[in-house]
Amino acid sequence: MVIAAIQPRYPLPAFPSGAVEVAPASWTARVLSRFVLAGYGLRLGQSGRGLPQSNTSRTNQTAPFLLRPSDCSGRTGPLGALLLAFWLGFMSAGWVQAAPGFRAELEEDSVAAGETATLKLIFTDLGNVQPPALPELPNCTAQFAGSGSQIAIVNFERSSSIIHQYVLQPKAAGVVEIPALTVEVNGQRYTSNPLKLRVGQGFDTAQLGFLKLVVPKTEFYVGETVPVEIRFYFKHAPARQNPPKLELDGFIKGKEHTDNLPPETINGEVYSVVRNALALTAAKAGELTLGPAEFETLYVFRSNRRRSIFDDPFFGGGGEQKQINFASEPVTIRVVPPPSVNQPSGFGGAVGRFSLDPVVASPTNVAVGDPITVRLTVRGRGNFAGLKLPEPAAGSGFQAYPGTNSFEEADVLGLEGVKTFETVLVPEQAGAQRLRLTPFVAWNPETKRYDSLEPRAIAVNVRPGLNAQAQPAGNVPVASATDTTPSRSGVATEVVPLKTELGPLLAFSPALVQRPWFLALLLAAPLLWSGLRVGDRLRERARQRGPDLRGQREQAVTGALAQLVTEAQAGRSAEFFAALNRALQEQLALTLGGAAGAFTEDVVATRLEPRGLPAAEVERLRALFEALAQARYSPVTSRRELDALAVSARAAVAALKALEVAP
């Protein structure tokens, strides 16, 4: 018979607020005796002051089912008092303390991968035992979920238990073995029973949707702020969901924004898309892993089982709730620091693309010690936090005071916007001053170089204060001190620095374009060019005339060769050799250039052999020259010899033609 109640499981209040023990029999009997003695009208709450408080005894003010002395406060009727006395007597008469122990229980002994199971570690009559740490479970995560207490009286055996609960979530199908756990309480060791959790195939989350981590690039600079998106593509909307989580190692999370994107069709399936955008700033260099992103959702599935009438949809039941967790793939990011080579001195870690508006300073006509408010506005996109407030250049004669800044976001993530710096400067010396501020320095990841935004110098007229000082040499106003003429274009009078370097002295001579020699020099080029072109034209004409002479010579060679045959047949030796001589001379003129008739036998060795005339042809030509020389004294008259010489001459002319240079 169980008559004690158990605290509700959820929510599980942290120990010790929920632990209650009924007092042991000894002091219960004393209460009973005092109650009986007091009789009607006795307040239990008052008598409870004398209750012995053991170190394990606690009073729970919130547990609804537990007997509390205060519940009995007030006057009770005689019947009630009698019943209470009877109950207490009944209770105290036969109580037996149960044996202390430690055991483990699983609420569900089989679950699907990805689902959760509850593990209870129950410490019976061991007092207040702290929750022990669970060992690493393969393919399963374990998380402490809270503690509770339980008082049970079974067959007059009373037991008090502390229950520590853990949520187990196996990741893959198989068996998760929970080993026997050992705890030491009051110097005595207690060991729990080992358990096995069977894990079936999990739910295929791809049927519902998937999670994607969208990173615009995989190489960041330290200090660079980049928008990252966690996109949840789903076919069926979850009943409930928690905000997505993202593992951030080495990144600083900035602003977040969630919105819906237009549905997308992927592999023929239409997915709704929820985008969770966030600004991430790389905080350290190295190969960093971003993600995975995780998204916990709760889906309600229609259940075929109907255990009771309350499972009917009319009562809001009939669905099976399932926690589905989606996870994206992690992304590896390479983070590099901005280069230290040629790093400007004012660089404070700002990374982005920025521009500087004209500097506004007011007033610019002040006395020594008067404050001047300077406002600088920087626009752009990037990590504005790294922009340092400019200071007056060293030795400028201005004292700077701490400034303020404000940022006006131009997008939901705060990546783009306008940052306004405002600072107060106080001039320390009188005179016409030029206020120069140090530049804003930022690393531009697009151009991969440092941008230096230098504020324009501001002209400030500083009047002497109580301790008047001389105006510093080097700067003068562009107007006379007494000039009150209003400016026609609203341009304010400024001070400008005097030129201190005289520079080279020169005369105001006429410009180059007004000097004849320069114009002549310019004209000389086209004139020279024209002259060269005319020369070209003349040469071209001469070259065009060339083929006429060449043609005549070719005709002469052809005619002479033809005549050789005729003269040989007729046996006219003198005419034959004259024709032979003409053929050779004209052909040599064609081959070597120059005038026909000037070639002797020497030309064979001096000009033809070097040009590569074959040896046989060399010999042939020499033989023909010798024949010509011999013909002067003893000409050949034999027709056969003349025919042979004609054939030889034809071959020699052909060989010489092969050596001709292209015109």
Partner 1 sequence: MRNRLGIWLLTIWITVSAAAVTPREHFESGNAHLARGQPAEALAAYGQIAPESTSAALEFNRGLAHAQLGQLGNALVRLRRAERLAPRDREIRRALAQVRARISGPAVPADPLGQTLGRLSLNEWAGAAGLAWWAWFALLLIARLGPVARQSVRGYTASFGLIATGLVFAALLAWWSRLREPSVVATQANAAVRISPLEEAKVAFTAGDGAEFRLTGERDGWFRVEEPASGRAGWLSGRSAGLVPVR
**Contact residues for partner 1 (CB under 8 A)?**
471-483, 485, 487-491, 493-494, 496-508, 510-514, 518, 521-522, 525-526, 528-529, 532
Shorter beta-carbon distance to partner 1: residue 260 or 487: 487
As measured in angstroms, the least distance from the Cβ of 477 to partner 1 is 7
Between CA 588 and CA 553 the distance in angstroms is 10
Between CA 111 and CA 508 the distance in angstroms is 99
Shorter beta-carbon distance to partner 1: residue 136 or 501: 501
Shorter beta-carbon distance to partner 1: residue 139 or 429: 429
CA distances for 303 relative to 320, 321, 393, 493, angstroms: 6, 9, 75, 85
Q: What is 315-379 written as a DSSP string?
A: GT-SEEEEEEEEEPPPEEEEEEPPP-TT--TT--S-BEEEEEPPPEEE-SEEETT--EEEEEEEE
As measured in angstroms, the least distance from the Cβ of 442 to partner 1 is 25
Shorter beta-carbon distance to partner 1: residue 206 or 498: 498
Shorter beta-carbon distance to partner 1: residue 253 or 456: 456
As measured in angstroms, the least distance from the Cβ of 363 to partner 1 is 19
The two beta strands, 286-302 and 319-327, are: antiparallel
Enumerate the H helices of 593-634 as residue ranges.
602-603, 615-631
As measured in angstroms, the least distance from the Cβ of 523 to partner 1 is 10
Shorter beta-carbon distance to partner 1: residue 532 or 574: 532
Which residues is 443 bridged to in the sheet? 351, 450
Please give the structure tokens belonging to residue 467.
């301790």
Between CA 355 and CA 452 the distance in angstroms is 9
Q: Which amino acid is at 662?
A: A
Helix (H, G, I), strand (E, B) or coil at 408: strand
Shorter beta-carbon distance to partner 1: residue 379 or 434: 434
Shorter beta-carbon distance to partner 1: residue 531 or 547: 531
Between CA 440 and CA 415 the distance in angstroms is 18
Q: Give the length of the chain.
A: 663
Please give the structure tokens belonging to residue 542.
């001469």
Helix (H, G, I), strand (E, B) or coil at 460: strand
Shorter beta-carbon distance to partner 1: residue 471 or 563: 471
Nearest in space to 387 (alpha carbons), one of 342, 437, 432, 322: 437
As measured in angstroms, the least distance from the Cβ of 474 to partner 1 is 6
As measured in angstroms, the least distance from the Cβ of 464 to partner 1 is 13
The two beta strands, 240-241 and 449-453, are: unpaired
Contact 386, 351 (CB under 8 A): yes
Sign of CA dihedral 299, 303, 306, 310: positive
Cβ-based neighbours of 485, under 8 Å, separated by 6 or more: 479
As measured in angstroms, the least distance from the Cβ of 359 to partner 1 is 16
Please give the structure tokens belonging to residue 654.
């052909």
361: left (phi over 0), alpha (psi -120 to 50) or beta: beta
Between CA 130 and CA 120 the distance in angstroms is 13
Shorter beta-carbon distance to partner 1: residue 478 or 605: 478
Nearest in space to 244 (alpha carbons), one of 269, 289, 216, 214: 214
Beta-carbon neighbour count of residue 477 at 10 Å?
15
Shorter beta-carbon distance to partner 1: residue 309 or 502: 502
As measured in angstroms, the least distance from the Cβ of 473 to partner 1 is 4
As measured in angstroms, the least distance from the Cβ of 434 to partner 1 is 11
Shorter beta-carbon distance to partner 1: residue 79 or 506: 506
Nearest in space to 117 (alpha carbons), one of 29, 2, 198: 198
Shorter beta-carbon distance to partner 1: residue 438 or 471: 471
Please give the structure tokens belonging to residue 294.
């995780």
Shorter beta-carbon distance to partner 1: residue 93 or 527: 527
As measured in angstroms, the least distance from the Cβ of 545 to partner 1 is 22
As measured in angstroms, the least distance from the Cβ of 441 to partner 1 is 23
As measured in angstroms, the least distance from the Cβ of 432 to partner 1 is 10
Give, rounded to a whole angstrom, the gap between the first and last alpha carbons of the chain: 131
Enumerate the H helices of 4-134 as residue ranges.
25-38, 44-47, 78-93
Shorter beta-carbon distance to partner 1: residue 510 or 612: 510
Shorter beta-carbon distance to partner 1: residue 99 or 525: 525
As measured in angstroms, the least distance from the Cβ of 514 to partner 1 is 7
As measured in angstroms, the least distance from the Cβ of 498 to partner 1 is 5
As measured in angstroms, the least distance from the Cβ of 458 to partner 1 is 13
As measured in angstroms, the least distance from the Cβ of 479 to partner 1 is 6
Between CA 98 and CA 22 the distance in angstroms is 14
Between CA 262 and CA 301 the distance in angstroms is 26
Contact 550, 592 (CB under 8 A): no
Helix (H, G, I), strand (E, B) or coil at 508: coil
Nearest in space to 389 (alpha carbons), one of 416, 362, 415, 356: 356
